[in-house]
Amino acid sequence: MSSPSRSGCRRRRELLAAVLLAAALSACQREDRRFRTWPPAASAIPAVRQSELQPGPTTRDLTVRNEYGDNAWAVSEGKRLYNQFNCSGCHFQGGGGIGPPLMDSQWIYGSQPENIFATIVEGRPNGMPSFRGKLGNDQVWKLVAYVRSMSGLLAKDVASGRNDDMQVRSQEQSTEKARPVQSAVPPASQRP
Amino acid sequence: MAKTSLVVGFVALTVACSGGHESRATPPAARVTTSAAAPAGALGTAARAASLAPDSGSAQWIIPAKNYASTRYSGLGQITAANVSRLGLAWTFSTGVSRGHEAAPLVVGSTMYVVTPFPNILYALDLSKPGAPLKWEYQPNPSTASQGVACCDVVNRGAVYYDGKIIYNTLDANTVAVDARTGKQVWRTRVGDINRGESVTMAPLVVKGKVLVGNSGGEFGIRGWLTALDAGTGKLAWRAYTTGPDTDVLIGPRFKPFYPLDQGKDLGVSSWPGDAWQYGGGGVWGWISYDPELNLIYYGTSNPGPWNPDVRPGDNKWTAGVFARDPDTGEAVWAYQWNPHDVYDHDGINELLLLDLPINGATRKVLVAPERNGYVYVLDRATGEVLSADPFGYITTSRGVDLKSGRPIMVPEKAPRTGQVVREICPAAPGVKDWQPSSWSPRTGLLYIPHQNLCQDEEGTEANYIAGTPYVAAIVKMYAGPGGYRGEMTAWDPVARKIVWNVHERFPVWSGTVVTEGDVVFYGTMDGWFKALDARSGKELWRFKTGSGIIGQPVTYLGPDGKQYVAVLAGVGGWAGAVVAGGLDTRDSSAALGFVNAMKDLPAATTKGGTLYVFALP
């Protein structure tokens, strides 16, 4: 004999199981986490161009894929390095100050991972220091991934969704993607 | 008497104009007789400026502070409270540079000199010709990388004229001397290293043939210093560090600080943990004054680094304080810390006005300092004794200054700490008043203080010293203080120790001020209004809209045509205006050390671009 209360109990159990399954499935889709992610070889850097204008026929460029840009752990490591290596001292949490903003659409020296890598390693003439020999390639690629997340260029399931410190901006995860444009205006004052 | 000095000034100018350049090239300092100081006394006020040298008469403006006493008072009286409403534009000049213009133009004889922010171009303009055409320009070509070690925009606070030369500093920490007649470089000396985070933004001062220069970089873990160079050759005469052992700080047998807390051996080492004094800040990026009678120079030192105070327990000497030194040797005679163990980035570098004031029935030789921590200090400038310290803005961080010990009475719960957000810190990091210089009139006895009304929330973070990169370790978010306005122009009576009148402004008043014999005070606003107020009542008498926000220092001079002119550089920027000058993103409240949060509406109020504006009566 089955009492109404017992069948109600079973329905609740089924419902709970369904909810758990749905939660588990959605978690599976959250991020395709690979535990062996390798950064691109730094030798990809010769592919970097500063200008889209090429004399003669346009050649197809090598593109660099930064695996860390798909890896939430690497991006969070990038965020830690961003603060520890004092990137935040100049660019703050993306709004800029001494250096230009990193959360907007303006990219003076290019928004592609290889461009940002080159900017960090080589430095740029208007004040960006060269970190060559100070950071390992692996650390730089993590920074590259995090820097791109600041303007919403990474997938939402990879970008940081929380902040350990005082809230001063929207989370990288909920930052609307700012479609990169090459900025014509260098940050420096211009000579007459 | 005033009229006489005007006539004398005019005659001097005429002589200078008719003579060769050499005669113009030698009007400075020491040659001005004490009669130049007479108008103040003649007016019957006991208060007077200590030394008007190197004033060189009212016609010219040869150092940013106008005179060694740093009063920024002009004895010109053609433009008065009664007629200033008719002031109109005479001519303009575009500097071609778009960052913050904080400098004071100089007028020597019939030439005006203008220094721009980085790339620190020096322009000479011919005032004897209609429209003041360009005579020459000098380009020092500072290292472009130096822009990366300038904490708060790539500003320059001006040049000085001395002995036929225009002398100033470049952002990449070089001091240059340029022939005032030809624009050719006479000497150039590298005084600092950008790879240690050093830059130079201050205007030098020449005292007894020595060019006094200090470094910037309190946010870059520098070790602060003041350096004296020989004005003729640029060779190093002495260097006095702000931190470290007494031998480096030039503390010797003559050093007699007033308060016990400043007495002891090698306090510049023992008041720091470990070797933190080697990168503890204490830059010298503000103003220097000089008293020829006591033969003492006075200047303040910047904040200790990093901002997060947890990593540097101790008084952190001699940061956020003031030094009195012998200009010949650099020896320290006394020192006093406005903020021992500063926890708020409250640099002590503001202008120090050397006045002789009637205090408790006696005339005292004092130094008046409107400080970042919110107090107007009056110190005995011979001994360093604090005679009074009174608040001139809204303060939650301290309850006053204990005149017995010399220590400020801090509010411990408002001190920032690691990993915890402290709110309603008032005043904010730029203080009740930052670098923007006050002026003082012997006619009214009042100090005209341009300043701000800001508070902040702050959290200390992990500190990592990496030479050449910022060393701040704090997240800051600033906002308007009580009342909602962010700027103020306050007339302060340093004898009665109270506010006489006060004008509120929407944005921080980041420009300097000048006050004249015509009882007019000039200053500019960050949304581009150049204003004239009645020095006695504070009533606005005139305003003019410039092309960009004003953070420069106004000056006034007598043109070769005998007319009084008022000049100011427009061109928004500086720390307060970085949001516009640097094109910053206002969605990050912590941008530009947290100042952006308080300036989110500035981009809608003004655009960048440097232009000199010169005004005259019709």
Q: Residue B526: helix, strand or coil by DSSP?
A: coil
Note if the bond before B542 is cis, omega within 30 degrees.
Answer: no
Number of Cβ within 10 Å of residue B412's Cβ equals 6
Q: Which of B154, B124, B157, B170 is nearest to B24 (CA)?
A: B124
Return the pLDDT at A48: 81
Token reading at B384:
């360093």
Q: Which of B613, B584, B612, B614 is nearest to B599 (CA)?
A: B584
Q: Tell me the mean pLDDT in the region A80-97.
A: 97
Residue B573 lies in a domain: yes
Q: Tell me the mean pLDDT in the region B41-45.
A: 37
Domain hosting A114: range is 66-182
Cα–Cα distance measured from residue B146 to residue B139, given in angstroms and rounded to the nearest whole number: 15
pLDDT at residue B320 greater than cutoff 50: yes
Q: What does pLDDT average to over chain B?
A: 93
Token reading at B57:
């008469």
Interface of B with A in 589-608 (CB under 8 A): 589-593, 596-597
DSSP state letter for B223: B
- Judging by DSSP bridges, how do beta strands B487-493 and A106-107 pair with one another? unpaired
Burial class (CB in 10 A: 0-12, 13-18, 19+), B484: exposed
Cα–Cα distance measured from residue B375 to residue B449, given in angstroms and rounded to the nearest whole number: 12
User: A137 touching B, CB under 8 A?
Assistant: no
Number of Cβ within 10 Å of residue B270's Cβ equals 13
Residue A100 lies in a domain: yes
β-partners of residue B484 are none
Interface of A with B in 11-40 (CB under 8 A): none
Phi, psi angles (nearest 5°) of residue B506: -65, -45
pLDDT at residue A93 greater than cutoff 90: yes
In this predicted model, which residue has the larger pLDDT, A36 or A100?
A: A100
Cα–Cα distance measured from residue A64 to residue A181, given in angstroms and rounded to the nearest whole number: 19
Residue B144 lies in a domain: no
Q: Which residue of B195, B421, B588 is the best one to mutate when testing the A interface, meaning the one whose CB has the most A CBs within 10 A?
A: B588
Cα–Cα distance measured from residue B11 to residue B19, given in angstroms and rounded to the nearest whole number: 12
Q: What is the DSSP string of B228-262?
A: EEETTT--EEEEEESSS-HHHHT--TT---SSGGG
Separate counts of helices (H) and strands (E) for chain A: 5, 2
Residue A51 lies in a domain: no
The model's confidence at residue A49, banded by pLDDT at 50, 70 and 90, is confident
CATH code assigned at B513? 2.140.10.10
Cα–Cα distance measured from residue B171 to residue B173, given in angstroms and rounded to the nearest whole number: 5
pLDDT at residue B40 greater than cutoff 50: no
| A92 Cα to chain B: minimum distance (Å) | 5
Burial class (CB in 10 A: 0-12, 13-18, 19+), A179: exposed
H helical segments located in B51-184:
none
β-partners of residue B214 are B226
Q: Are B297 and B325 in contact (CB under 8 A)?
A: yes
Identify the closest residue of chain B to A128 by CA–CA distance. B148
Please provide the size of chain B in residues: 618
Phi, psi angles (nearest 5°) of residue B124: -115, 125
- Which residue in the set B419, B584, B590 is minimally distant from A168, CB to CB? B590
Return the pLDDT at B93: 98
Helix (H) or strand (E) holding A81: helix A72-84
pLDDT at residue B215 greater than cutoff 80: yes
| Cβ contact B144–A86 (<8 Å) | no
Return the pLDDT at A186: 52
| B288 Cα to chain A: minimum distance (Å) | 26
Token reading at B209:
């043939």
| Cβ contact A126–B147 (<8 Å) | yes
| Cβ contact A169–B587 (<8 Å) | yes
| B603 Cα to chain A: minimum distance (Å) | 14
| Cβ contact B582–A96 (<8 Å) | yes
Residue B200 lies in a domain: yes
Report how many domains make up chain A. Answer: 1
Cα–Cα distance measured from residue B376 to residue B384, given in angstroms and rounded to the nearest whole number: 15
pLDDT at residue B35 greater than cutoff 60: no
List chain A residues with CB under 8 Å of B457: 166
pLDDT at residue B430 greater than cutoff 60: yes
Answer yes or no: B303 catalytic: yes
Which one of B291, B342, B345, B527 is the catalytic residue?
B345
Cα–Cα distance measured from residue A80 to residue A139, given in angstroms and rounded to the nearest whole number: 10
For the ranges A176-180, B52-56, B317-321, B363-367, the lowest mean pLDDT is seen at: B52-56
Residue B373 lies in a domain: no
Q: What angle do CA B498, B501, B502 make, to 5 degrees?
A: 105
| B21 Cα to chain A: minimum distance (Å) | 28
Q: Which residue has the tokens 């007894």?
A: B208
Which one of B102, B219, B371, B534 is the catalytic residue?
B219
User: B171 touching A, CB under 8 A?
Assistant: no
Cα–Cα distance measured from residue A81 to residue B509, given in angstroms and rounded to the nearest whole number: 37
Answer yes or no: B102 catalytic: no
Provide CB contacts within 8 A for B410, sequence distance 6+: B343, B397, B398, B399
**Percent of chain A with pLDDT strictly greater than 70:** 79
Return the pLDDT at B127: 98
Residue B399 lies in a domain: no
Q: Are B73 and B49 in contact (CB under 8 A)?
A: yes
pLDDT at residue B258 greater than cutoff 90: yes
The model's confidence at residue B45, banded by pLDDT at 50, 70 and 90, is very low
**Percent of chain B with pLDDT strictly greater than 90:** 91
- Which residue in the set A83, A86, A185 is minimally distant from B466, CB to CB? A86
Phi, psi angles (nearest 5°) of residue B387: -85, -35
Return the pLDDT at B130: 97
**Percent of chain A with pLDDT strictly greater than 90:** 59
Return the pLDDT at A15: 75
Answer yes or no: B345 catalytic: yes
pLDDT at residue B603 greater than cutoff 90: yes
Residue B355 lies in a domain: no
For the ranges A155-169, B267-281, B540-554, the lowest mean pLDDT is seen at: A155-169
User: B146 touching A, CB under 8 A?
Assistant: yes
CATH code assigned at A70? 1.10.760.10
Residue A76 lies in a domain: yes
Return the pLDDT at A42: 67
* SS (HEC) of B555-579: EEEECCCCCEEEEEEECCCHHHHHH
* SS (HEC) of B410-462: ECHHHCCEECEEEEEECCCCCCCCCCCCCEECCCCCCEEEEEECEEEEEEECC
Residue A21 lies in a domain: no
pLDDT at residue B25 greater than cutoff 90: no
Longest dimension (CA), chain B: 67
Residue A35 lies in a domain: no
Token reading at B542:
């005139």
Cα–Cα distance measured from residue A14 to residue B557, given in angstroms and rounded to the nearest whole number: 89
Return the pLDDT at A5: 52
Report how many domains make up chain B. Answer: 1
Provide CB contacts within 8 A for B306, sequence distance 6+: B221, B312, B463, B465, B471, B472, B473, B474
| B393 Cα to chain A: minimum distance (Å) | 26
Phi, psi angles (nearest 5°) of residue B408: -70, 150
User: pLDDT tens across B145-204, in order?
Assistant: 999 999 999 999 999 999 999 999 999 999 999 999 999 999 999 999 999 999 999 999
Angle at which helices A113-122 and A137-150 pack, to 10 degrees? 120
User: A96 touching B, CB under 8 A?
Assistant: yes
Interface of B with A in 108-137 (CB under 8 A): 116-119, 121
List chain A residues with CB under 8 Å of B582: 96-97, 100, 187
Integer distance in angstroms from the first to the last C-alpha of chain B? 26
Instruction: Give the dihedral sign, CA B240/B241/B247/B252.
Output: positive
User: pLDDT tens across A5-26, in order?
Assistant: 555 566 777 777 777 766 655 5
In this predicted model, which residue has the larger pLDDT, B552 or B55?
A: B552
Residue A32 lies in a domain: no
Interface A-B, measured as beta-carbon pairs within 8 A, has a size of 147
Q: Position B491: which residue type?
A: A
Phi, psi angles (nearest 5°) of residue B261: -65, -15
- Judging by DSSP bridges, how do beta strands B225-230 and B236-241 pair with one another? antiparallel
DSSP state letter for B389: E
pLDDT at residue B253 greater than cutoff 90: yes
The model's confidence at residue B36, banded by pLDDT at 50, 70 and 90, is very low
| A105 Cα to chain B: minimum distance (Å) | 10
Residue B363 lies in a domain: no
Return the pLDDT at A19: 73
- Judging by DSSP bridges, how do beta strands B296-300 and B288-291 pair with one another? antiparallel
User: B464 touching A, CB under 8 A?
Assistant: yes
Q: Position B357: which residue type?
A: L
For the ranges A182-186, B367-371, B469-473, B562-566, the lowest mean pLDDT is seen at: A182-186
The model's confidence at residue A43, banded by pLDDT at 50, 70 and 90, is low
Q: Are B338 and B322 in contact (CB under 8 A)?
A: yes
Return the pLDDT at B49: 86
List chain A residues with CB under 8 Å of B116: 189
Q: Which residue has the tokens 């001063």?
A: A168
Residue B383 lies in a domain: no
Return the pLDDT at A191: 37
pLDDT at residue A44 greater than cutoff 90: no
Residue A93 lies in a domain: yes
User: A94 touching B, CB under 8 A?
Assistant: yes
Provide CB contacts within 8 A for B547, sequence distance 6+: B528, B570, B607, B609, B611
Domain hosting B578: range is 2-138+156-348+412-616
Q: Tell me the mean pLDDT in the region B363-367.
A: 97
Q: Residue A85: helix, strand or coil by DSSP?
A: coil
Return the pLDDT at B143: 97
The model's confidence at residue A59, banded by pLDDT at 50, 70 and 90, is confident
Which one of B120, B303, B350, B453 is the catalytic residue?
B303
Q: Position B18: which residue type?
A: S
pLDDT at residue A189 greater than cutoff 90: no
The model's confidence at residue A54, banded by pLDDT at 50, 70 and 90, is confident
Token reading at B604:
């809608």
In this predicted model, which residue has the larger pLDDT, B13 or B563?
A: B563
Q: Which residue of B585, B586, B595, B607 is the best one to mutate when testing the A interface, meaning the one whose CB has the most A CBs within 10 A?
A: B585
Q: Tell me the mean pLDDT in the region B458-464.
A: 97
List chain B residues with CB under 8 Å of A126: 144-145, 147-148
Residue A7 lies in a domain: no
Q: Which residue of A122, A166, A175 is the best one to mutate when testing the B interface, meaning the one whose CB has the most B CBs within 10 A?
A: A166
Interface of B with A in 299-358 (CB under 8 A): none
Return the pLDDT at B368: 98
Q: Are B469 and A85 in contact (CB under 8 A)?
A: yes
| Cβ contact A165–B459 (<8 Å) | yes
Alpha carbon B81 to its chain's center: 26
| Cβ contact A96–B585 (<8 Å) | yes
